[in-house]
Structure formats: structure tokens, C-alpha cells
Amino acid sequence: MTTALLTDRYELTMLQAALADGTAHRRSVFEVFTRHLPPGRRYGVVAGTGRVLEAVEGFRFAPAELDWLAAQRVVDDATLDYLAQYRFTGSISGYAEGEVFFPGSPLLQVESTFAEAVLLETVVLSVLNHDSAVASAASRMTSAAGDRPCLEMGSRRAHEEAAVAAARAAVVAGFAGTSNLEAGRRYGLRTIGTAAHAFTLLHDDEEAAFASQVAAMGPGTTLLVDTYDVRRGVERAVRAAGTGLGAVRLDSGDLPSQARAVREQLDSLGATGTKIVVSSDLDEHAIAALAAAPVDSYGVGTSVVTGSGAPTCGMVYKLVAREDRSGAMQAVAKTSAAKSGHLGRKTSARRVVAGEAAEEVVVGGTDPAVLAWRPEPDMRPLHEVFVQDGRLVPGWTGADGVERATRRHADSCAELPVTALRLSADDPAIPTVRVTL
């Protein structure tokens, strides 16, 4: 499926005007960044980069798209001729997927002609804003969970394609699996799930439901024990599967007190290895509140797929440098008071002292100076190359890309000061220092 019409009309009307006045082929640099983090957040997480790269590869105007644009008179014939041959031939670089970020971080850099790069604005932002919001929320949840796994099960609370993207982003940020089968198929994610209350209600009694599930899936399955009375449900679950029962799930009620009671009951029945899974509208704060409870894993739905109160990251895609009439690159930026930008191409590094991130260093200025800049010995460079001269660098997409992003997220979070992982509202976890060359 082409991604070419996942865009806004003004991208094409700007293209038409630029083709007509001769500026369309000026070399240009666009950057993605966010001016601030959502309230209460101390860091964000980059997610969706692999999906952006897949979208760029699929950005083609086939006859069906061109015919529709012509029928709607969106652009003129000269622009349609250009679109028919469209291929992105530039370069894309930025923060590795899974990396944490802060306000003003130059997260993605798209360099090509104005014509090629401007068309990508909407699809790039729609992917990064959504996926990074989910990953940022998921990271707070996995941090609150500690070494207890979080499982994504929020598909029914999102658009069907957003559900797939959300599952992927949650895994990037440390979730151990997803209930979404399409996400599992596309990205090689571990899928999880056994039965809902409907399965218990289908049967004449709870004993029959549990016996059926154990017969089909074996004693290592997870039995949902709160359809009726939890205590009796636990008794019936152990009777059906034996003391080797894999897990029981609690999906309602006072989870901390129920978990303690169920743990005591399981142990008294000899099911000391049976785990307890909890679900029911969990978010990072509910997970933190369960830290002292004998819970083994968390099933998270609505909160993770909707960004837990912050469904977007406020990322923008701005032109920061363009070729002038002499062929030299000229830094450009908005100067309006409320939405001012920073001139020119940028690169960045993170200063790490004794294994702990101390500051984000964002370097800007003239093109030659920024391109020649090298980080100091105690700095970790943050920009990676994803596309070079129109060719995708291997390893950033598909299942390999998700695995790589998951590792990057774990390593990046491990560098953060311990205060960055607190759920209380505060300033960004580390300061951003700007250097102009």
C-alpha cells in the first residue's frame, strides 16, 4: 500500500508553487523536534523510526493516486508529472529508535531537495508523534514495574492500525509481549493471551470452563479467576490444573489486597509456583502502587495505547537550512515569539559522567562547522544514519529494528539519573546545553 496520500494538501500545493518558481530543487534540511515535554514527564522516548523508514520506502504516487489528484484538481499537470516520478533520493538521520530525548533534541533530520523532503512532513510526524507518545508512557510503566513484566493488551481501545503501532512502540519501551496478533506477525513480537470472562460465562459453571481451558492449553495456562467469587475461583483453578498451574489473572476489585489474599491461598494449596497476573485499567501510577503486592506481571490496556494522558509528543518538522542562489547552505528559522526556532542544521551528543547522563549537548551553526564537529571523549553521539542517498541502511526496520530499538531503550534508560524515573512532575531529567559554532 502506498503512503503517498497520508499527507496534507498544502504539502502538494507548496510543491506546485516551488516547481513553478524554481526553488523546488534547492537542497534543504528539515528537522523534527519538540519544544517541550508533556506535563509531568521528565523524558521522552523515540519510537516509530522503523515505521517512518517503511513509509518513506512506500511513498509512491501510482496511477490511482495521480488520477484522484487530477480529478480533484489538487495540483496542476506539471506537478502531477513530478509526482509520478517521485522517489526519495536524500538522506535521513537522527536519534536511534528507543533513545530517550528532551526538549529541543534534533530527533530526525531529513536532507534532500525541498520538493522531496517537504512531502514527507505529515507522515513522519503522524508516526513519530503517536509511537513516541506510546513508548514514553510505556517506559514509565516498565520503570514502575521494575523486573516484573508488562504485557500490552490495549488493541480494542485504539484504531485497528494504531493498535498495531502501539503494540510495537510498547515493546520498544520494554513491554514483554502483546495481545495483538498482527503486531506479532509484522514485527516478530511475542504474543500473549488465554481467555476472557466470556469463556467462563459460556460454560455451565466455572469448573467446566477451567477444565476445558486446561485440556486445550495445558496446566501452564493462565486462568481468569474473578468472574464470580475469587476465592472459589482459585480453588477451582488449582483443582483443574493441579499445583503446576501457570498463573491466575485478576481483572477487577482491590488488586493489592486481592493479590495478597490469592498468594496466600495459592501457597496454602501447594501452588507455590503459580504466578499472579493483574489487569484492569492499569497505568504507571497503579503499577507503582502495586510494588509491594505479590504480583508477577501486569496487563496494561487503555493507558499505554493512548499515551497515558499524553497522546502526542508535540513534535514538529521544520526547515532549518536551505541552499541559497550561490549554492551555499543558509540557516533559516521562524522568529515568531510563541514558536521561534533555532537556526541551522544541528547534531547532538549526551555527556555521560561515571556512567550517568549529565547533559544533552545540541550543536548548531553553519553547515560546514556542524558537519565537522566531533563529540568530546565523555560524550556519546546521538545521531545515526538511516537512509543514505535514497538507500535504506539495513537493520532499522522489521523485527530486527524492534530488537535493536528495545536494546537501545534499555541502555539509554540505564544511563539516566535515578531521579529521572520518578513519576512525580519535575523538570527534564537532564539539562540541554546549546552550542553554536
Nearest in space to 278 (alpha carbons), one of 232, 201, 224: 224
Give the number of other Cβ atoms within 10 Å of residue 379's Cβ.
16
* 42 and 151, same domain (yes or no): no
Q: What is the pLDDT of residues 231-275, one digit of tens each?
A: 999 999 999 999 999 999 999 999 999 999 999 999 999 999 999
Share of the chain above pLDDT 90, in %: 94
pLDDT for the residue numbered 425:
83
* 102 and 208, same domain (yes or no): no
* 128 and 149, same domain (yes or no): no
Among 256, 282, 303, which residue terminates a domain?
A: 303
Share of the chain above pLDDT 70, in %: 99
Dihedral over Cα of 341, 343, 344, 348: its sign: negative
Q: Is residue 350 part of a domain?
A: yes
* 244 and 183, same domain (yes or no): yes
- Cα of first residue to Cα of last residue in the chain, in angstroms, is 43
Among 240, 273, 303, which residue terminates a domain?
A: 303
Is there a contact between 46 and 315 (Cβ–Cβ < 8 Å)? Answer: no
**What's 183's domain CATH number?**
3.20.20.70
Please count the structural domains in the chain.
2
Among 274, 303, 332, which residue terminates a domain?
A: 303
Q: What is the pLDDT of residues 368-418, one digit of tens each?
A: 999 999 999 999 999 999 999 999 999 999 999 999 999 999 999 999 999
**What's 39's domain CATH number?**
3.20.140.10
pLDDT for the residue numbered 41:
92
Q: Is residue 1 part of a domain?
A: no
pLDDT for the residue numbered 340:
59
Q: Is residue 324 part of a domain?
A: yes
* 14 and 123, same domain (yes or no): yes
* 155 and 124, same domain (yes or no): no
Nearest in space to 54 (alpha carbons), one of 126, 116, 7, 2: 2
pLDDT for the residue numbered 335:
79
CA 55 to the chain's CA centroid: 15
Q: What is the pLDDT of residues 266-297, one digit of tens each?
A: 999 999 999 999 999 999 999 999 999 999 99
Residue 138, pLDDT > 80, answer: yes
Structural domain boundaries enclosing 56: 9-134+310-436
- Grid coordinates representing 227 are 468472574
Residue 111, pLDDT > 90, answer: yes
Q: Is residue 4 part of a domain?
A: no
Mean predicted confidence (pLDDT) in 13-19: 98
pLDDT for the residue numbered 248:
98
* 365 and 297, same domain (yes or no): no
pLDDT for the residue numbered 101:
98
Q: Is residue 67 part of a domain?
A: yes
Nearest in space to 104 (alpha carbons), one of 170, 172, 43, 27: 43
- Per mean pLDDT, which range of 115-124, 208-217, 284-293, 331-340 is the poorest? 331-340
Q: Is residue 3 part of a domain?
A: no
* 62 and 112, same domain (yes or no): yes
* 229 and 87, same domain (yes or no): no
* 207 and 279, same domain (yes or no): yes
* 280 and 148, same domain (yes or no): yes
SS3 437: coil
The Cα 180–Cα 185 span in angstroms is: 9
What type of residue is 182? E
* 161 and 129, same domain (yes or no): no
Q: Is residue 2 part of a domain?
A: no
Q: Is residue 419 part of a domain?
A: yes
Confidence at 343, pLDDT banded by 50, 70, 90: confident
H-helix or E-strand containing 34?
Answer: strand 27-34
